[in-house]
Amino acid sequence: MTKLKLGPLPDDKPVKITVELPAPLHRDLVAYAEVLARETSQPAAEAR
């Protein structure tokens, strides 16, 4: 079997996407961010 040859990935510009999340998942993610912020002593990022 031939080996797969992978080259370096190009440094592309970021891509903006929009996703819709169910409300319960959003609440869980916000709660997780708050717990993570407390554990790491860093402020949680504000939602936009």
Q: What is the pLDDT of residue 48?
A: 59
pLDDT (tens digit, 9 = 90+) per residue, 5-37? Answer: 888 878 888 889 999 999 999 999 999 999 988
Q: What is the pLDDT of residue 22?
A: 98
Angstrom distance (rounded) from CA 23 to CA 7:
41
Which band of pLDDT confidence, cut at 50, 70 and 90, is reported for residue 47? low
Q: Which amino acid is at 12?
A: D
Angstrom distance (rounded) from CA 17 to CA 37:
25
Q: Which residue has the higher pLDDT, 21 or 47?
A: 21
The answer to whether 29 and 37 are in contact (CB under 8 A) is no
